[in-house]
Amino acid sequence: MNNPRNSGKKPDWLKIGLPKGKNYLDVKDIVDRHQLHTICSSGKCPNIAECWGLGTATFMILGNICTRSCGFCSVVTGKPLPVDRDEPENVAKSVRLMNLKHCVVTSVDRDDLPDGGAAVWAETIRSIKRLNPGTTIEVLIPDFRGNTEHIKMVIDAGPDIISHNLETVERLTPLVRSVAGYRRSLEVIRFITASGMVAKSGIMLGLGEKEDEVLQTMDDLLATGCRVMTIGQYLQPSKENLEVTEYVHPDKFEFYKAEGLKKGFRIVESSPLVRSSYHAEKQISEFIK
């Protein structure tokens, strides 16, 4: 089936529900009261209604101003505010208030900090574990400019799964990502798996990638030891961001899921509205089981 090109109008399969319901309001209240940053809102995630309605959220630490300006991302770029030393404890308390069995933490890039924010990452993980001993933790980390000492600080804090996204295929990486490199990200993932951790990565479709490039990206990830992959549709968050070149049909996402599983991935989440943390609690349960 031919995939529709971007006509300026989203196809029916990308229609999403409006946020509503008691659970959604409860999560929003906790986020607002504790002045937490979530990628759900800062990243304009299309699944905010579903995830917050289920009482889950992805926390974004180290503020909400990023030092990088990636073409796909809606998070504000600029000079970040000083690190909030109370943030790790506040996130941990919020996980407890939400009664989460599994939580996801991500961050902006903090190239302004000597360790890229690794110490705050480690303290946040430790705080969550201390206050929520029964909660599993997934972290979606930046590349820390490839510094393995900083990545090891996160690993040593003991999360259950570490995710680092490639975001797109190798050819499009210089267009899509402002600082991070495709090969450097692969080495970050390789370092994670070599440490014995479960590694996860994801890409977006609709930026001009070709089928063979997506399949090659799968092979590149598998070569690092990564066994969990997410594939979703890129949606332009603002006029300042990259334009969508194609709205990929759900059948194509199913094709990539089948191919990924055939190649050797243990889990492939692939559909238009999939994002990095989508169904994260189900994914981690597979590895714990």
Which has more confidence, 42 or 38?
38
The pLDDT of 98-106, averaged and rounded, is 85
Domain ranges of the chain: 17-288
Q: Is the pLDDT of residue 31 over 70?
A: no
Q: Is 286 in contact with 266 (CB distance < 8 Å)?
A: yes
Q: Which of 246, 181, 256 is nearest to 216 (CA)?
A: 256
Query: What's the pLDDT score for residue 254?
Result: 98
Which has more confidence, 224 or 14?
224
Q: Is the pLDDT of residue 213 over 60?
A: yes
pTM for the whole thing?
0.87
Confidence of residue 95 (pLDDT cuts 50, 70, 90): confident
Query: What's the pLDDT score for residue 210?
Result: 98
Fold of 17-288: TIM Barrel (3.20.20)
Q: Is the pLDDT of residue 21 over 90?
A: no
Q: Is the pLDDT of residue 169 over 80?
A: yes
Which has more confidence, 2 or 101?
101
The pLDDT of 145-174, averaged and rounded, is 97
